[in-house]
């Protein structure tokens, strides 16, 4: 949130925008007793202005890593071309090339750092063997339902080390012989058994399969239904602060309190209708990541509104920002229909429908599904039969979205559509009941690992755990999304 951390990917979010890795920032320790003149100026200015007036201090730097480049003299023919060197693109390139398949990764800046912070449940990355790519973990998470009620969740949470993860994926790609080409994909053309990518530098590359991992703004992935997304929008900062009130051993997944809007009647009224929450990663007593987040709205909530609410919240919490190290705008389209299945271009990442429709989570799910998708591709291109064309596209897309997974996604869409109808009090009641469920259900829901049958049981259990007010919300606001979900599941099952 920026659960995708968020999160999360913005048109939206480029998959390769530069951002300095926090692990390289020597700011994870409290200040000494002395301050430079520059530090004193920052503190003095922050007394009279909000953090919005402070410029981020970090400067993006590309990774210093030797990757195998595509050369003009090389044969421009590959088995698979992956467009985009974000988490999704690199993970799939790494997994596909591990089967001995010839892969080229195409990106305007393949060594640039990814721009956004990603949060994951520790058990998700442990199951993938990626726990060494977490640069900070918290043994517990908490959810502030209101000023009177807090939920403590015994599930560890972690921040992805963007530098560590990207270096690991790049290293595996290089070891598997993946070639990288620094250019932007301009146009894709298809023949019966082969596709070509024209690049903005005049290069033309050919392959049996083109994979689009370039993000939400891509025009290469086609849809045959209106893209009626919900939107998660957030403003986040990694900041030095004088102090903060959060426990260092707990990550704050959601803070739905609104007492900070007591003296802001306009903001309080709009927040009551379209609520936002605070997402918090406390690193130490003086370093913290803070993100004000609209879980989902349609149309998208104003970005300026989100920032105003964050200013009011930090003022109320007594958090004085001394320095903004990084800032980020996160805009994530959520839910809506899947791309047309099958089609000649395969998608993975934000434009493939893999973003969790009810939370915005995507990174762990992408890391999980890439090996499965790579297996489906390898069964075609790695076999002596060399299955290409329509059969290849069909098998690849159904490796990504088998019927069971499409039906499950319809349930998550139902969850998103329900959340869209809830005001602040309704949202609080929903999460109060949700986190009272057996951990198998709420953990499975947030990690996209429940079967359709388990999701139905979750819904029934949620209704039983809900307060009378929350049950009234479900009875009055869920029927239309429920009927729509059941119709879509029936169509998928045909």
Question: For the chain, what are the domain ranges?
Answer: 230-334, 402-494
Number of Cβ within a 10 Å radius of residue 484: 14
Q: Enter the tokens of residue 358.
A: 């009810």
Report H helices in 421-451.
424-434, 439-446
Q: List, in sequence order, every residue forming a beta bridge with 241; answer none if it has no partner.
A: 321
Q: Which residues of 114-141 are buried (b: 16+ CB within 10 A; e: fewer)?
A: bbbbbbbbbbbbeebebeebbbbebeeb
Angle subtended by helix axes 439-446 and 452-465, to nearest 10: 120
Contact criterion met (CB below 8 Å) for 237 and 326: yes
Contact criterion met (CB below 8 Å) for 296 and 331: no
Whole-angstrom CA distances from 282 to 52, 58, 250, 361 are 20, 19, 8, 20
Report H helices in 25-158.
37-46, 87-97, 122-127
Contact criterion met (CB below 8 Å) for 277 and 260: no
Contact criterion met (CB below 8 Å) for 198 and 210: no
Q: Which fold has domain 230-334?
A: Alpha-Beta Plaits (3.30.70)
Query: Which DSSP letter does residue 115 get?
Result: -
Contact criterion met (CB below 8 Å) for 91 and 167: no
Q: Supply φ then ψ for residue 16, to 5 degrees.
A: -140, 20
Spatial CB neighbours of 200, under 8 Å, sequence gap ≥ 6: 183, 184, 185, 186
Q: How far apart are CA 173 and CA 17, in angstroms?
A: 20
Contact criterion met (CB below 8 Å) for 293 and 278: yes
Q: Supply φ then ψ for residue 207, to 5 degrees.
A: -160, 165
Residue 389, phi-psi category: left (phi > 0), alpha (psi -120 to 50), beta (remainder): left
Q: How far apart are CA 204 and CA 191, in angstroms?
A: 14
Q: How far apart are CA 246 and CA 257, in angstroms?
A: 14
Q: How far apart are CA 353 and CA 337, in angstroms?
A: 7
Q: How far apart are CA 193 and CA 191, in angstroms?
A: 6
Q: How far apart are CA 389 and CA 52, in angstroms?
A: 52
Residue found under tokens 């992805």: 160
How does strand 157-160 pair with strand 250-255?
unpaired
Q: How far apart are CA 265 and CA 256, in angstroms?
A: 17
Contact criterion met (CB below 8 Å) for 2 and 116: yes
The reported pLDDT for the residue numbered 13 is 36
Per this entry, what is the length of the chain?
A: 494
Secondary structure (3-state) at 61: coil
Q: How far apart are CA 115 and CA 14, in angstroms?
A: 8
The reported pLDDT for the residue numbered 108 is 96
CA 203 and chain centroid, separation:
32
Q: Enter the tokens of residue 135.
A: 């640069």
Q: List, in sequence order, every residue forming a beta bridge with 137; answer none if it has no partner.
A: 158
Q: Enter the tokens of residue 314.
A: 């930090």
Q: How far apart are CA 2 and CA 117, in angstroms?
A: 8
- Per-residue pLDDT of the chain (494 residues), as tens digits, is 444 444 333 333 333 333 323 333 333 333 333 444 444 333 333 343 688 989 998 877 899 999 999 998 888 999 999 999 999 999 999 999 999 999 999 999 999 999 889 999 999 999 999 999 999 999 999 999 999 999 999 999 999 999 999 999 999 999 999 999 999 999 999 999 999 999 999 999 999 999 999 999 899 999 999 989 999 999 999 999 999 999 999 999 999 999 999 889 999 999 999 999 999 999 999 999 999 999 999 999 999 999 999 999 999 999 999 999 999 999 999 999 999 999 999 999 999 999 999 999 999 999 999 999 999 999 999 866 689 999 999 999 999 999 999 999 999 999 999 999 999 999 999 999 999 999 999 999 999 999 999 999 999 999 998 889 888 888 888 877 878 878 888 777 77
The reported pLDDT for the residue numbered 332 is 94
């Amino acid at each position: 949130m920026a659960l995708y951390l968020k999160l999360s990917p913005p048109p939206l979010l480029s998959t390769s925008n530069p951002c300095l890795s926090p692990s390289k920032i020597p700011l994870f320790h409290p200040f000494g007793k002395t301050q430079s003149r520059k530090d004193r100026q920052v503190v003095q200015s922050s007394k009279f202005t909000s953090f919005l007036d402070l410029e981020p201090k970090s400067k993006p730097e590309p990774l210093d890593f030797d990757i195998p480049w595509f050369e003009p003299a090389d044969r421009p023919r590959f088995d698979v071309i992956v467009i985009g060197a974000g988490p999704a693109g690199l993970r799939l390139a790494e997994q596909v090339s591990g089967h001995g398949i010839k892969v080229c990764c195409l990106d305007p800046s393949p060594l640039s750092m990814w721009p956004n912070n990603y949060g994951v449940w520790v058990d998700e990355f442990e199951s993938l063997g990626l726990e060494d790519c977490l640069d900070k973990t918290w043994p517990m998470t908490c959810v502030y339902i209101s000023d009177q009620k807090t939920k403590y969740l015994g599930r560890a949470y972690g921040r992805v080390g963007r530098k560590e993860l990207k270096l690991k994926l790049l290293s595996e790609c290089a070891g598997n012989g993946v070639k990288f080409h620094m250019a932007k994909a301009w146009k894709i053309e298809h023949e019966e058994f082969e596709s070509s990518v024209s690049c903005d530098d005049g290069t033309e590359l050919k392959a049996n399969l083109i994979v689009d991992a370039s993000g939400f703004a891509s025009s290469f992935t086609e849809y045959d239904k209106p893209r009626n997304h919900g939107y998660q929008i957030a403003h986040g900062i990694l900041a030095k602060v004088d102090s903060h009130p959060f426990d260092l051993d707990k990550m704050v997944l959601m803070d739905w309190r609104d007492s900070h809007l007591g003296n802001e009647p306009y903001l309080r009224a709009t927040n009551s209708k379209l609520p936002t929450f605070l997402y918090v990663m406390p690193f130490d007593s003086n370093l913290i990541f803070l993100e004000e987040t609209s879980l989902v709205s349609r149309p998208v909530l104003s970005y300026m509104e989100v920032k105003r609410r964050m200013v009011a919240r930090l003022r109320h919490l007594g958090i004085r920002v001394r320095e903004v190290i990084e800032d980020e705008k996160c805009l994530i389209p959520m839910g809506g229909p899947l791309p047309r299945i099958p089609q000649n271009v395969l998608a993975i990442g934000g434009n493939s429908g893999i973003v969790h429709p009810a939370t915005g989570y995507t990174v762990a799910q992408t890391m999980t599904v890439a090996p499965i998708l790579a297996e489906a591709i390898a069964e075609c291109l790695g076999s002596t039969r060399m299955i290409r064309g329509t059969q290849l596209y069909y098998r690849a897309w159904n490796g990504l979205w088998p019927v069971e997974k499409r039906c499950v996604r319809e349930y998550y869409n139902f969850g998103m559509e329900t959340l869209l109808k809830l005001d602040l009090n309704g949202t609080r009641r929903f999460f109060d009941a949700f986190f009272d469920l057996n951990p198998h259900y709420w953990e499975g829901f947030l990690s996209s690992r429940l079967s359709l049958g388990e999701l139905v049981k979750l819904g029934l259990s949620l209704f039983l755990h809900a307060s009378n007010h929350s049950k009234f919300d479900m009875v009055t606001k869920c029927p239309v999304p429920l009927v729509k979900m059941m119709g879509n599941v029936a169509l998928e099952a045909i």
